[in-house]
């Protein structure tokens, strides 16, 4: 993770300045959407340009400033879900938590789950991808703890499929996994009903054998935001133990 240093600040305070004129939840949703698009290395430009239409130039400047301060804070708190904590505390009402079943998982629990999931990493194959499926990823806190528990070499080999029914959660997970270098494909959908509406791969997931500058031209990069194809849905069902069996 690296970024150009910006002036000291707090992304929360900057978003509050926008919230004086706009609904707090709308501001947060737009911020995470803008940030995810900005970090997608020109593979989500159509989404970005569509969202821009809803805001004035001074608002866009504040969103950009907020992203810079967020990155600086994340650098001081390795693999911590800074975004998810703010979302639960300020952007999502307590009633919304109850209705949507959205709750922030403490980092200690995430670390425990990551340790249990990875087990003895010495037993991993010496090469090739290591696939993981997270069917209710939220902002990606558990994925961050998983990445933190891995060596850099193992982390580069991860291929995480992260699913969430909340579009905002998908954008937060995209931001978190991109900035911490965890190859992840984020899917907006319902893992219980097997309904999937859109999918985005971060730059670490897209054609990792190509130099970074060439990845936006990879075929996978041109499919950002499209629903996953049937073959991918079937792989997800197998990962989640939802494959169907027929008697012959």
User: What's the pLDDT score for residue 95?
Assistant: 46
User: What's the pLDDT score for residue 243?
Assistant: 54
Residue 147 burial by CB count (10 A; 0-12/13-18/19+): exposed, middle or buried?
buried
Beta bridge partners of 186: 162, 200
Q: Which residues have a Cβ under 8 Å from the Cβ of 144 and sit 6 or more positions away? A: 79, 80, 81, 110, 176, 177, 180, 182
Cα distance between residue 173 and residue 167, in whole Å: 10
User: What's the pLDDT score for residue 5?
Assistant: 43
CATH number of 107-239: 3.40.50
Residues of the chain with pLDDT under 50: 1-7, 94-99, 245-248
- Nearest 5°: CA angle at 201, between 198 and 204? 170
User: What's the pLDDT score for residue 8?
Assistant: 54
Closest CA to 145 of 202, 83, 85, 79: 79
Side-by-side strand order, sheet with 130-134: 130-134, 158-164, 184-190, 195-201
Closest CA to 189 of 200, 177, 179, 202: 200
pTM: 0.89
Phi, psi of 156 (to 5 degrees): -65, -25
Domain ranges of the chain: 11-100, 107-239
Measured over the CA atoms of residue 162, residue 167, residue 173 and residue 175, the dihedral's sign is positive
CA 192 to chain CA centroid, Å, is 20
H-helix or E-strand containing 198?
A: strand 195-201
Instruction: Evaluate whether 43 touches 212 at the Cβ level (below 8 Å).
Output: no
User: What's the pLDDT score for residue 92?
Assistant: 61
User: What's the pLDDT score for residue 3?
Assistant: 42
User: What's the pLDDT score for residue 126?
Assistant: 83
User: What's the pLDDT score for residue 54?
Assistant: 95
pLDDT in tens, 29-38: 999 999 999 9
User: What's the pLDDT score for residue 76?
Assistant: 94
């Amino acid at each position: 993770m690296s970024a150009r240093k910006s002036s000291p600040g707090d992304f929360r305070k900057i978003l509050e300045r926008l919230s004086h004129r706009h609904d707090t939840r709308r501001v947060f949703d737009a911020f995470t959407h803008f940030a995810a698009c900005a970090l997608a290395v020109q593979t989500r430009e159509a989404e970005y340009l569509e969202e821009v239409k809803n805001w004035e130039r001074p608002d866009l400047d504040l969103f950009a400033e907020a992203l810079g301060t967020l990155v600086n804070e994340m650098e001081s708190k390795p693999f911590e879900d800074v975004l998810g904590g703010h979302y639960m505390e300020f952007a999502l009402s307590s009633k919304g938590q109850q209705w949507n079943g959205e709750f922030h998982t403490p980092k200690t629990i995430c670390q425990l789950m990551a340790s249990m999931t990875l087990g003895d990493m010495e037993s991993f194959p010496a090469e090739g991808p290591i696939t993981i499926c997270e069917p209710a990823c939220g902002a990606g806190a558990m994925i961050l703890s998983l990445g933190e528990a891995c060596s850099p070499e193992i982390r580069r080999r991860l291929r995480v499929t992260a699913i969430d029914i909340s579009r905002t959660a998908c954008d937060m997970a995209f931001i978190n996994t991109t900035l911490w270098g965890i190859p992840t494909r984020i899917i907006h959908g319902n893992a219980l009903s097997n309904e999937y509406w859109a999918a985005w791969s971060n730059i670490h997931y897209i054609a990792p054998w190509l130099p970074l500058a060439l990845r936006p031209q990879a075929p996978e990069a041109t499919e950002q935001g499209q629903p996953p194809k049937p073959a991918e849905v079937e792989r997800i069902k197998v990962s989640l133990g939802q494959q169907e069996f027929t008697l012959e």
